[in-house]
Amino acid sequence: MKDTVLYLVLPCYNEEAVLPDTARRLAEKYRTLTENGRISKKSKILFVNDGSRDRTWEIITELFHNSTVFCGLNLSHNRGHQNAVLAGLLAVKEKADAAISIDADLQQDIDAIDRMLDKYEAGCDVVYGVRNARDTDTWLKRTTALGFYGLMRFMGCEVITNHADYRLTSKRVIESLEEYGEVNLFLRGLLPSIGYPSDIVYFDVQARRAGKSKYTMKKMLSFAVDGITSFSIKPLQLITLLGFLMLFVSIVMIATTLFDYYTGRTVPGWASSYCSTWFIGSVQLLSLGIIGEYIGKIYLETKRRPRYHIESFLWKENEEADEK
């Protein structure tokens, strides 16, 4: 009998359509794991309501009252997926030996939990769930996702390709996470940088069973920008590089213009001056934009606002576990 107290942490934003099915499947999984002696009976499933506008919190409250396996954390406002995951992890850090974060739609295969536990028992502090194929995604999502991982790595941020936020983290990793005070949270980049022994398990992705994806193109783009700007100063360095490049081009341009001038071949170059005005203008604007992105981040970080406020936390002692 293993006595690992395992918590599952599920961020939920407007998930009323999938929650009942998710709860049923997870309760079943939990039963198998406890019956097989894989996890302690004190283990629980935590739903984090990320300021949903639908009946998500009502459903979580009902689940909590009907079974000791479930508990719920209610954030007072929508703070985004990453913050919801962190809120859940930090809320259970005293109680859990390890926690697995997984999306509420259970698109990720829950049978990978067993393999994550194997790795945890073998001494891993972080076990990353990595998806096998991207068949269920649209072409656009697949391409943008792979491009994103490539770009992140180019920018110098350690990310694991095709790993979303399905992962096991041990108690000490959660404790380390707490020490990061940043507001722009990008857990996928943060965790590899924390260190500790880690490993990967592969899993298949299913299509969403009900409800709609909460990651619109706009949210995905801002997530990508967040990821890059919170971890890398390469964009700033690229501006300098671009500056040098432009300087080189200007020198060549000046040289050819002078050559033309002295050989008497000067033609009033309306088109070229017009184009370069536009080009330089856009390069400057782009550069300013990138600098602005960082200044915005500095601004937010210096405010040191709390990431979230917990409105309520539903939790009670597991009776079956007490008898043991």
Q: How far is the CB of 8 from Mg ion (least distance, A)?
A: 15
Which DSSP letter does residue 36 get?
Answer: T
Does the CA dihedral 101-105-107-111 come out positive or negative?
Answer: positive
Indicate the length of the chain as a whole number.
324
DSSP codes joined into one string, 163-211: EEEEEEEEHHHHHHHHT---SS--HHHHHHHH-SSEEEEEE-BPPPSSS
Choosing from 19, 57, 91, 105, the residue that interacts with ligand UDP (CB under 6 A) is: 105
103 binds Mg ion (CB under 5 A): yes
In the block, tokens 């107290």 appear at 5
In the three-class reduction of DSSP (H, G, I as helix; E, B as strand; rest coil), residue 136 is classed as coil
| Pick 46 or 124: Cβ nearer ligand UDP | 46
Q: Residues 41, 44, 131, 214: which binds ligand UDP (CB under 6 A)?
A: 214
Q: Which does 129 bind (CB under 5 to 8 A by kind): Mg ion, ligand UDP, none?
A: none
Tell me if 109 contacts Mg ion by CB under 5 A.
no
With respect to ligand UDP, which residue has the nearer C-beta, 11 or 189? 11
User: Of 5, 6, 8, 11, which lies in the binding site for ligand UDP, with binding defined by CB under 6 A?
Assistant: 11
Q: Which stretch binds Mg ion (CB under 5 A): 36-44, 98-106, 115-123, 302-310?
A: 98-106
Residue position matching structure tokens 């040098």: 244
Residues between 21 and 50 that touch ligand UDP (CB under 6 A): 50
Which of Mg ion, ligand UDP, none lies near 15, with the C-beta cut-off 5 to 8 A by kind? ligand UDP
- Nearest approach in angstroms of CB 12 to Mg ion is 11
Cβ atoms of residues 106 and 11 within 8 Å: no
For ligand UDP, the closer CB: 12 or 116:
12
- Does 84 bind ligand UDP (CB under 6 A)? Our answer is yes
- CA distances (Å), origin 28, targets 24, 120, 194, 244: 6, 22, 33, 61
Query: Does 72 engage in binding with ligand UDP (CB under 6 A)?
Result: no
Pick from 13, 64, 203, 231: which binds ligand UDP (CB under 6 A)?
13
* Tokens encoding 157: 């941020």
Q: DSSP alpha helices (H): ranges in the chain?
A: 19-35, 56-66, 81-92, 112-121, 139-154, 171-178, 187-194, 217-231, 234-262, 270-303, 319-323
Does position 125 bind ligand UDP by CB under 6 A? no
Q: What does the longest C-alpha to C-alpha distance in the chain come to?
A: 100
- The angle subtended at Cα 208 by Cα 92 and Cα 200, nearest 5°, is 55
Pick the binder of ligand UDP from 76, 161, 213, 257 (CB under 6 A). Answer: 213
Residue 249 CA: distances (Å) to CA of 254, 261, 321: 9, 18, 72
Contact partner, 12, from Mg ion, ligand UDP, none, Cβ < 5-8 Å per class: ligand UDP
Give the binding site for ligand UDP (CB under 6 A): 11-13, 15, 50, 78, 80-81, 84, 103-105, 107, 213-215
Contact footprint for Mg ion (CB under 5 A) = 103, 105, 107
